[in-house]
Structure 1
């Protein structure tokens, strides 16, 4: 006996939870949505697998843009694939940043995100960084960039950044 998945209801649930996470983002805002071994591909952030990776990258992102918020502009879905048109906005060092992203989510029949592929043009972010020196320190301190050199200095052991940033946000 096969179980029929109510994809439209599942899509609505995923969009609702995804939007709620971006309306008040913190590293654990999407825990009820992300599969434990979620695969993540995202511009300017580390690619990889696992909720713990997302927690660490979300901490970095929020350290750079503490007032970051996301707004779901539109979405489309078919079976296990959901596309979300998203506007992300925040302030770094007094400079306002806004980018539009397209996330492609692969979801399970239980409504968990098994894979997230986020795409956006990073040139506006880099342009803001170049035009506003006040953004340099928040960008550097967050660990978002420059990725290789900066992260080597920040992490002496796996999870060190996440542990430190969790304490800073309390």
Structure 2
């Protein structure tokens, strides 16, 4: 739901780019909708600023779950704030895993994301990795948290 018609085009641009990026994730899939100084916070990944930071974190996600996909379930927006409910699905350790995330986005009038705060319950992801030994090596190589300190042991 958009409450301000002056923001409608910006919301549509962000929603379309966000949805397309999760339909076929790649570290650069969201480049067209990321502001140069975009800020990120999300469970299991390092907070940071800029598209290059996101490229690295997205790459880590795809090391852990190469078949990761997302589907927008619902969204709402008012002026520079958008909420997008996305269902993320992947295979982790040979078994399916589905997680729902709600992303709060701060958007610009031109339709780029200035800030992304993702919120989801990360325990099902951690438990899936722990319970599935086939996932351990991918998880270790990915650098996805918890235990983000192990990143210094991984090749750059």
Fold in common (TM above 0.5): yes
CA-CA distance at 1:133 after TM superposition: 1.2
Q: Is 1:23 paired with 2:23?
A: yes
CA deviations 1:97-119 (Å, max 9, x no partner) are 11000000000111110000000
Taking only aligned residues, the RMSD between alpha carbons, in angstroms, comes to 1.5
TM-score norm. by structure 2 comes to 0.93
Partner of 1:167: none
Kindly indicate whether the alpha-carbon contact (under 8 Å) linking 1:72 and 1:84 is maintained by their aligned counterparts in 2.
Answer: yes
TM-score norm. by structure 1 comes to 0.85
Matches within 5 A, 1:5-20: 6-20=6-20
- SS at 1:27 equivalent: coil
Listed as ranges, the gaps of 5+ residues in structure 1 are 161-170
Listed as ranges, the gaps of 5+ residues in structure 2 are none
Instruction: Say which one has the larger Rg.
Output: 1
How many residue pairs get matched? 153
- SS at 1:63 equivalent: helix
Task: Please list every run of at least 4 consecutive aligned residues from structure 1 whose deviation after the TM superposition is greater than 3 angstroms.
Answer: 145-148
Partner of 1:121: 121
